[in-house]
Structure 1
Amino acid sequence: MRTSDTIAEIAKALNQFQSDVKQPEKSAENPYFKSKYVKLSQVITTFQKYGTKHGLSFIQYPVNGEHSIGVETLIMHVSGEWIKFDPFFLPIEKATAQGAGSATTYAKRYALSAALGIDSDEDDDGNQASQRNNGNQSQNEPRGQQSNVSNMTTHTASGKQIGLIKGLWKGSGGDSKSLDPWVKGKYKKPLDKLTTHEASGLIEKLQKRQNKKAEQKQEDADYSYNTSEFPPVEGDAPF
C-alpha cells in the first residue's frame, strides 16, 4: 500500500464514511457454494451514497501479470490526499476475454470491499474460506468459470506457474538450489505440490520483490545522473 505524503484528511473522511455506511444487502446468490454476496454494482452504489459526501472518490484499473490479471484500487480525497492499495491478482487458466472479464469483475468487487471495510461475503466460520475468497463470482459469470476459480485451492500448480516461480526467484537474486528448501519451510510441501492458489500468491510476492528491486535500481540510477550534473567544488567531498 502507498499513500500521499499526508493522510490526515482522507483518514478522517474514511472514519466518517465507515461510521455512516450501512452494509449493503447480500442479494446475489452463488449457487456453487450456496451462499450470498454483494454485487459489485451494489458496492459502488453504497460508496457513491456515503463516500462522496465526505469528499471521497475511487479509481480501479486492471493490471496484468504473467499468467494472471489484477486490479489496483486508488481511494482519493478532495484535499488531494490518496491511498493506493496493492493489486489483487487472480490467475487466468483460460486466456479468453470472458475469463479475463470474469476475474476482473470479481477482483474489483473484492478489492474495493476490502479497501472500504464493506462486508460483501457471507462468513461460514472459516469453512472453505480460501475457496470462497477465490470462488464467489458475479451472477453473470459462467458456471465453468466459477469452477475454474474455486479449483485454484485444490488443483496442483501448473507447469507454467512453476516455471514462472523459478524464473522470478532467479530474477530476484535467489539461488535456484535454495528455492525448494524455502518453499518447504514456507508451505510445508515441495514446490511441485503447491496448489494453483498458493502458486499464484507466491508469484505475486516475487513480482512485487522484483518490482521493488527495479524501482530501487532506477532510483539509484536517477540519483547518480542528478549528482553527476553538479561536480563537487574543489575541497568539497564528492557524493
Structure 2
Amino acid sequence: MRSYSKFFRTAVWLFAFALVNAAGSAYADMRLSTSTDPGTEQKPDLNNQLTSLLGQEHQALRQINIDRMRVITAAPKTSLRPVKRGETPDIPKISYTREWLNSQPVASGGAEWECLTQALYFEARGESVSGQFAVAEVILNRVDSSRFPNTVCAVVNQGTGKRNQCQFSYTCDGKAEVVNEPAAYTNVGKIARALLDGAPRNLTVGATYYHNQSVRPRWARVFTRTASIDGHFFYR
C-alpha cells in the first residue's frame, strides 16, 4: 500500500509540476517537493494532499496573463487553405480539354519539368490533350517503377546513343531537338507542370509502355493492355 501511495503522490506531483512549468514566469516563486528518503516518509493523507495541490494549481492559473493563456491554448496555425466539400487538397484539378489547357498559366520548372516537356513536345505534340497526358503518365509511371531509372530525365534518355535501345525515338533519330512550335511547347509544359505537381494519372491505369496501333511489337504480346488513346495502345 505504501509503495502505491508513493507512486500516486509522485504522479500527482509530476502533473502539477508540468502545469506549473508551462505557465512561465508567473510560477517562478512556486515550489513543490517530495521526499525521496524512505526514512522520513510519513503515512500520507491523499485526499488532503490532492486538494492542496489542486488549490495551488488554481491559484497559479489565476496569475497567468489572459494573453499568455490564449497563446498556450491556441490551436496550431496552418498554411493550408480551407478544403471545400468534395475537394482533395493540394492536388491540381484537371480536365482533358483544350479549354482547360488554355485556362492554365504559363508553366516553368527545373530540369525534370524541362525533360518531361521536351518529351511531350517531340513525342506527342500532335496528339489530343488526353493523348499528351497519357504519354506523360507513362513517363512518370516509369519513374515510379523499380524497373526503370528514378528521374524523368533518366527515363526519357534511357538508351540514348545506343542503336535500337533508346526508349523515346526523338532522342536517337539523329535530328537536333529544335522547338519550332512555341505555342505547342507552352501547352505541353502546362501538362508537365500539372502532373509533376501531383495531378492524378487516370488515363493509362499504370501503363509503362505504349506503341502506335499501326505496328505490332513482340513485347506487346506479354504485357497487359490498359488503354487505347489517339491511335496508341498502352500497356503495363
Give me the TM-score of the superposition, normalised by structure 1: 0.22
Higher strand share: 1
Give me the TM-score of the superposition, normalised by structure 2: 0.22
Highest Rg: 1 or 2? 2
